Structure 1
Amino acid sequence: MTKKLVLITGAAGFIGHHLLDYLLQKTDWNFVLLDRLDLSGNLDRVRDIPSYEVDKGRIRFEWHDLKAPVNESLAKRLGNPHYILHLAASSHVDRSIEDPALFAMDNVVGTVNIMNFARNCSNLEKFVNFSTDEVFGPAPEGHAHKEDEPHRPSNPYSASKSGQEAFGYAFFITYGLPVVTTHTMNNFGIRQHPEKLLPKTIRSVLNGTPMPIFAKLNKKKRLEAVGSRYWINCWNTSSAVYFLLKHGKPGESYNIIGFDEFTNLEIAERIAKIIGKKLIPKFVDFHAVRPGHDRRYALDGTKLKKMGWKPEISFDKSLHDTVKWYLDPKNQHWLND
């Protein structure tokens, strides 16, 4: 029996390499990794996967920037995958504010190019289109967005992801492409880019330097922390994607969420407690620093939960294990800017 072939775009990125790690452990499938190895893509992540030396015979790598179409030569090298997991994207809000056109090219045009390739894959069973909670815009207190709610993107990054989703649905309707869309929330885990909250906080606490925390003026004209998010470990996200490869329905979208909501300050304080050192918060006005910053994101995970999926690892255990991994001297190079 022929083994499944999986194409992962953005496979050298943070979530992409965790998804590869998970699927290497859970399946006997073969993988083609597509990445342009820029700011977020780093093959050291793939080589750091514990089973890499054993499983590297199941992995092939192809360099490509999806702003360009997949030409005939590359298409032959990619093969005829059974699953395409499309994670390649530009994802940093601040950089999207500086260069919105780049994000439109990477996230919208790039998606169209890989979907045009996918249209010709006769073996294709699922195309998983990775989106974000941010397409829905801010969530009022007490509300969590469901999959079918309207998009209200607040910044160029979330607008580009909304466009990515729109093309995914259009390709499903027009060409019958078996697109399954996911919305994920704040993912964390090992080997994350140093600019992200967890590694940045760990570095700040270890060095005894102030940690910037977004804040707003309260009624007493004092700054207080804002920025509430639901947090999920990449292992749980990967588990949900594997579940959707089996049970997801083309044309549908699914919220992949953690069930633990914290402000950035609360996350930073938990990290400091695990390390055993003091956090030095530095409150900054979030609107002055980041126009288009949303105070709170929230997704409703009922749909996926009713289908039978649940996180494999608790938030507390995954946060503890992640911080301890970074504290190991052999892993501390992942904290460097």
Structure 2
Amino acid sequence: MSKTILITGGAGFIAHHVIEEILNKTDWNVISLDRLDFSGNLNRLQDIVGERKDKKRVKVVYHDLKAPLNSQIISSIGKVDYIAHLAAGSHVDRSIDYPMEFVLDNVVGTANILDYAKSIDSLDKFVYFSTDEVFGPAPKEINYKENDRYNSTNPYSATKAGAEELVVAYENTYRMPNIITHTMNVFGERQHPEKFIPMCINKILKGEKIFIHGNKEKTLAGSRHYIHAKDVADALLFLLQNNTPSVADETGIKCPKFNIVGSEEIDNLSLALYIADVLDKKLNYEIIDFHSSRPGHDLRYALCGNKMKQMGWTPSEVYKKLKETVKWTVSNNIWLKI
């Protein structure tokens, strides 16, 4: 019998790529649970599902996870085998201005989906999608491993870390089959135009100046391990389909955690220059010191991807995916205007 996966935030940027991956590589049914706000856009689902002969495999249920799932919502969802919890508030600037909004979305919302999930006897896996930002800024040469200490530098990352601890607690208390993933700076088709890569495409095409966040001396641009959303989706499916036993490590930690990391680290100036080169345009830019004037933003994030590599999963070559994304976005430029 075909499996069913519930994906929270299914109309969001990363989640809709996960749905497409599942439709392409499995016979599973998908239930998207979404409140369709600033982040959720049904046009994403229409783009990937609209003309498919098997589009009935996808069902959309409307719900805001700040509230518990009531009996009507639970009935609409039906039986599920997997839950991938991707719904979250993720805008760092907004979290600095409105921290309680993120506590409600990321901590309370996670508690509500966990409460629902622990009542499912047939649940195979619950995946919580977290972020590299829980570890805070990474000094040069440091790449954080899955169980390294947290050092949240803004309310967004603090609420993601708090939700992670709830996931760990629910596994320890209720013996739930939970796993946690960390990833960083995901890009790809249909990303909101405020994000760095589509923003660069837009400004470079218009000849506008791009401000690159850098160090205090304005000599070094911030850097990240960029990764395409299709790679993130592929990694999530890999984890769902492979054995991830809850066996305590030498420190007693049982809830498995996995870093989903791009193929190489790229500084933001090099990234913008590459996009300009793909577009055959000149880059108009200025390095600015944004971090000193507004704490809560970090110059460098970095994760260690060895654990997933040793399990047999590796990401695509990032520059190839960047080139594909830039060309797709130019050909589908409505996504630069949303």
TM-score normalised over the length of structure 2: 0.95
Question: Residues 34 and 50 (structure 1 numbering): CA distance in 2 closer, same or farther, change over 3 Å?
Answer: closer
Corresponding residue of 1:249 = 245
Counterpart amino acid of 2:303? L
CA contact (8 A) 1:32 1:59 kept: yes
Question: Residues 324 and 254 (structure 1 numbering): CA distance in 2 closer, same or farther, change over 3 Å?
Answer: same
Question: Residues 169 and 158 (structure 1 numbering): CA distance in 2 closer, same or farther, change over 3 Å?
Answer: same
The alpha-carbon deviation at position 336 of structure 1 amounts to 1.2
**Are 2:233 and 1:238 aligned?**
yes
Structure 1, unpaired ranges of 5+: none
In structure 1, distance between residues paired with 2:65 and 2:131: 19
**Are 2:262 and 1:258 aligned?**
yes
Cα RMSD after superposing both structures = 1.2
The alpha-carbon deviation at position 215 of structure 1 amounts to 2.2
Corresponding residue of 2:197 = 198
The alpha-carbon deviation at position 226 of structure 1 amounts to 2.5
Aligned sequence identity (%): 48
In structure 1, distance between residues paired with 2:215 and 2:303: 23
**Are 2:310 and 1:306 aligned?**
yes
Deviations 1:121-179 (A, max 9, x none): 12210000000000001111001000111111110000000001000000000111111
The alpha-carbon deviation at position 239 of structure 1 amounts to 0.9
In structure 1, distance between residues paired with 2:213 and 2:230: 27
The alpha-carbon deviation at position 282 of structure 1 amounts to 2.7
In structure 1, distance between residues paired with 2:289 and 2:112: 39
The alpha-carbon deviation at position 288 of structure 1 amounts to 5.1
CA contact (8 A) 1:243 1:309 kept: yes
Matches within 5 A, 1:179-198: 179-198=178-197
In structure 1, distance between residues paired with 2:195 and 2:166: 28
Q: Which moved more, 1:282-291 or 1:9-18?
A: 282-291
Deviations 1:168-200 (A, max 9, x none): 000000111111100011111000011100100
CA contact (8 A) 2:215 2:222 kept: no
Deviations 1:217-276 (A, max 9, x none): 32xxxx224211001111111111111112233420000001211111111111000000
In structure 1, distance between residues paired with 2:51 and 2:183: 26
Partner SS for 2:171? helix
Counterpart amino acid of 1:336? K
Corresponding residue of 1:14 = 13
In structure 2, distance between residues paired with 1:117 and 1:159: 23
CA contact (8 A) 1:213 1:225 kept: no
Corresponding residue of 2:250 = none
Corresponding residue of 1:226 = 221
**Are 2:319 and 1:323 aligned?**
no
The alpha-carbon deviation at position 59 of structure 1 amounts to 0.7
Question: Residues 314 and 107 (structure 1 numbering): CA distance in 2 closer, same or farther, change over 3 Å?
Answer: same
The number of aligned residues is 329
Partner SS for 1:68? coil
The alpha-carbon deviation at position 284 of structure 1 amounts to 2.4
In structure 1, distance between residues paired with 2:233 and 2:4: 17
CA contact (8 A) 1:229 1:298 kept: yes
**Are 2:207 and 1:208 aligned?**
yes
TM-score normalised over the length of structure 1: 0.95
Corresponding residue of 2:114 = 115
In structure 2, distance between residues paired with 1:249 and 1:112: 23
The alpha-carbon deviation at position 317 of structure 1 amounts to 1.3
CA contact (8 A) 1:180 1:249 kept: no
Partner SS for 2:88? coil
CA contact (8 A) 2:186 2:229 kept: yes
Counterpart amino acid of 2:141? G
**Are 2:114 and 1:99 aligned?**
no
Corresponding residue of 1:154 = 153
Question: Residues 50 and 318 (structure 1 numbering): CA distance in 2 closer, same or farther, change over 3 Å?
Answer: farther
Corresponding residue of 1:29 = 28
Structure 2, unpaired ranges of 5+: 247-254
